């Protein structure tokens, strides 16, 4: 047991997301403070237990003033895969990294650098760069269909979003009675990796075990998600490993790549960029707004009206937001939360409130405030600027909703058949398990 656990968070030696450099720790207690007050984890389990409870969010690393806590580094693994002539490497990039990577090279928060990011990854030797906004569109096709199915057929409600692995682990640990509420949809990275291994690998005639899928994310909880038994198949892991924005920034510097001089390059065209709905996944409220756009179409056959394409009540830097929308002749009540401590509060009062869908993202303002994002002395300002960058991009896009994406439609036609089909369940959905801990 950590002899300083009265002051700081203990970290297990096999935590896949974070580690501590003992020599740097100044025992300031900031890690424990954020873990307790924002994440609702420290203080909710017995510290004398050998089994350390951690939801892998990485917020302790973000607040550590001396970089004693950092992400577990996977950059060597990435370079080893790139340099292995038997392997092909596909990097898939999360929605929010395109508005934060620039900060690693002194550009302002929120600056849209998707083209330079692709170029940087190609310079490092990556074979394919795909956009996870495509995976986010897939998630929405499935999640909106699941919501409609639950409402129509009287199944368990509210439906909880499941794209944040820290939130999923939080439910599995502290609120296992709500596991049936979690959407069975894999996260966008989980879906994208599965489609790459099971569909794309075949199309380029490569054994899926020779195709290394690496997720570039704002998130260190994804390092935990990639290890989940539920996300493995005969070829091994769907997502081989995960690198954060900070790791990619450091790797570029180690390789003396001048970010500012890179020319924009497009994502590889096998999976083109997703819709505007996929882009806004990176901000708190974005998943809900994206789901509403497509659920509206699925239930009415019509494109969503302009107020649902700019669902103002779901936007903004507020830890709990509520709204409602009329679907299937009913008022569907929505709740959006960031911070698992806030989620505790909502879950503890859930009986008296009646929501149909709840989005929870663990980090401040969602993935734009993720535990693998560039660190900052003014984090609130930065997460707002990054979210603005995503909403601005959505506003510029012609295809705003996941159902409109022609490549998504083609993928269903050629491979997945339809949302919630047997194939879609096999490749795009998952299951969860209760986790024991000492109270
Ligand atoms: S990663 Fe999150 S849950 Fe784990 S110790 Fe850090 S703040 Fe707490
Ligand atoms: S925040 Fe960093 S320096 Fe402070 S107690 Fe935690 S690990 Fe140590
Ligand atoms: S909010 Fe986003 S970055 Fe944070 S843990 Fe969840 S998925 Fe990861």
Q: What is the pLDDT of residues 112-144, one digit of tens each?
A: 999 999 999 999 999 999 999 999 999 999 999
Q: Is the CB of 366 under 6 A from ligand 3?
A: yes
Q: What is the pLDDT of residues 387-438, one digit of tens each?
A: 999 999 999 999 999 999 999 999 999 999 999 999 999 999 999 999 988 8
Ligand 3 pocket test, candidate residues 336, 342, 370, most atoms within 8 A of CB: 370
Average pLDDT over residues 265-282: 91
Is 299 found in the same domain as 388? yes
Is 297 found in the same domain as 153? yes
Domain CATH for 290? 3.40.950.10
Does some domain include residue 264? no
Say how many domains are in the chain. Answer: 2
Q: What is the pLDDT of residue 353?
A: 62
Could you say which ligand is closest to the alpha carbon of residue 370? 3
C-alpha distances out from residue 138 to 165, 188, 231, 237, 296, Å: 17, 7, 16, 20, 16
Q: Is the CB of 57 under 6 A from ligand 3?
A: yes
Does some domain include residue 139? no
185 tagged catalytic: no
Q: Is the CB of 56 under 6 A from ligand 1?
A: yes
50 tagged catalytic: no
Last residue of a domain, one of 26, 56, 71: 71
Minimal-distance CA residue to ligand 2 atom 2: 64
pTM of the model: 0.97
Average pLDDT over residues 280-292: 95
Does some domain include residue 416? no
Is 66 found in the same domain as 152? no
Spatial contact of 285 and 314, defined as CB atoms under 8 Å apart: yes
The pLDDT of residue 49 is above 80: no
Does some domain include residue 3? no
The fraction of the chain above a pLDDT of 70, given in percent, is 99
Minimal-distance CA residue to ligand 2 atom 8: 25
Is 161 found in the same domain as 295? yes
367 tagged catalytic: yes
Does some domain include residue 129? no
C-alpha distances out from residue 49 to 17, 18, 43, 198, 374, Å: 20, 19, 12, 41, 33
Q: What is the pLDDT of residue 233?
A: 95
The pLDDT of residue 296 is above 70: yes
Let me know if 342 is exposed, middle or buried by CB neighbors in 10 A (0-12, 13-18, 19+): middle
Ligand 2 atom with the smallest distance to the CA of 29 is 5
Spatial contact of 155 and 60, defined as CB atoms under 8 Å apart: no
Is 282 found in the same domain as 156? yes
Spatial contact of 69 and 24, defined as CB atoms under 8 Å apart: no
Is 63 found in the same domain as 180? no
Minimal-distance CA residue to ligand 3 atom 8: 219
Range of the domain at 39: 18-71
Minimal-distance CA residue to ligand 2 atom 5: 27
Name beta bridge partners: 211. 88
List the one residue out of 78, 8, 1, 83 whose CA is nearest residue 42.
8
Q: Which residues contact 400 (CB under 8 A, 6 or more apart)?
A: 275, 276, 277, 293, 309, 394
Domain CATH for 58? 3.30.70
Is 57 found in the same domain as 159? no
Q: Is the CB of 340 under 6 A from ligand 1?
A: no
Is 300 found in the same domain as 157? yes
Q: What angle do CA 22, 23, 27 make, to 5 degrees?
A: 65
Q: What is the pLDDT of residues 191-244, one digit of tens each?
A: 999 999 999 999 999 999 999 999 999 999 999 999 999 999 999 999 999 999
Average pLDDT over residues 329-346: 96
Last residue of a domain, one of 46, 71, 96: 71
Q: What is the pLDDT of residues 351-385, one digit of tens each?
A: 756 899 999 999 999 999 999 999 988 889 999 99
Last residue of a domain, one of 49, 71, 93: 71
163 tagged catalytic: yes
Does some domain include residue 64? yes
Let me know if 303 is exposed, middle or buried by CB neighbors in 10 A (0-12, 13-18, 19+): middle
Is 24 found in the same domain as 157? no
Does some domain include residue 115? no
Is 179 found in the same domain as 31? no
- Residue 70 Cα to ligand 2 midpoint, Å, equals 10
Is 399 found in the same domain as 284? yes
Give the active site residue among 187, 335, 367, 401.
367
363 tagged catalytic: no
Minimal-distance CA residue to ligand 1 atom 2: 57
Is 370 found in the same domain as 280? yes
Does some domain include residue 200? no
């Amino acid at each position: 047991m950590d002899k300083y656990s009265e002051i700081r968070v203990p970290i297990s030696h096999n935590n896949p997301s974070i580690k501590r450099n003992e020599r740097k720790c100044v025992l300031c207690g900031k890690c424990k403070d954020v873990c307790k007050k924002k994440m609702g984890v420290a203080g909710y389990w017995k510290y004398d237990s050998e089994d350390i409870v951690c939801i892998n969010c990485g917020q302790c690393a973000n607040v550590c003033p001396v970089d004693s806590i950092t992400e577990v580094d996977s950059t060597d693994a990435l370079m080893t895969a790139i340099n292995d002539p038997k392997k092909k490497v596909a990097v898939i990039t999360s929605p929010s990294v395109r508005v934060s990577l620039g900060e690693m090279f002194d550009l302002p928060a929120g600056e849209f650098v998707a083209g330079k990011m692709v170029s940087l990854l190609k310079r490092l030797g990556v074979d394919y760069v795909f956009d996870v906004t495509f995976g986010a569109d897939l998630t929405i096709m499935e999640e909106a269909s699941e919501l409609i199915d639950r409402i129509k057929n009287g199944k368990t409600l509210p439906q909880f979003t499941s794209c944040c692995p820290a939130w999923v682990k939080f439910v599995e640990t502290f609120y296992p009675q709500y596991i049936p509420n979690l959407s069975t949809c894999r996260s966008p990275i989980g879906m994208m990796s599965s489609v790459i291994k099971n569909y794309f690998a075949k199309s380029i005639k490569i054994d899926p075990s020779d195709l290394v899928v690496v997720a570039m994310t704002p998130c260190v909880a994804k390092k935990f998600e990639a290890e989940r038994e539920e996300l493995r198949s005969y070829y091994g892991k769907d997502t081989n490993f995960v690198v954060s924005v900070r790791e990619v920034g450091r790797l570029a510097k180690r390789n003396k790549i001048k970010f500012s001089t890179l020319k924009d390059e497009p994502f590889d065209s096998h999976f083109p960029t997703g819709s505007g709905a996929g882009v806004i996944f990176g901000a708190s409220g974005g998943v809900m707004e994206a789901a509403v756009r497509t659920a509206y179409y699925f239930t009415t056959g019509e494109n969503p009206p302009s107020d649902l394409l700019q669902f103002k009540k779901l936007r903004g830097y507020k830890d709990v937001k509520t709204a409602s929308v009329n679907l299937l002749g009913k008022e569907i009540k929505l709740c959006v939360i960031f911070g698992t401590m806030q989620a505790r509060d909502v879950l503890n009062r859930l009986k008296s409130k009646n929501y149909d869908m709840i989005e929870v993202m663990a980090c401040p303002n969602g993935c734009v405030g993720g535990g693998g994002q560039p660190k900052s002395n003014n984090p609130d300002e930065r997460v707002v600027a990054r979210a603005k960058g995503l909403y601005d991009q959505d506003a510029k896009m012609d295809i705003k909703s996941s159902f409109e994406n022609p490549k998504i439609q083609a993928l269903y036609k050629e491979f997945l058949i339809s949302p919630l089909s047997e194939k879609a369940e096999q490749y795009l959905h998952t299951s969860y398990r209760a986790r024991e801990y000492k109270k």
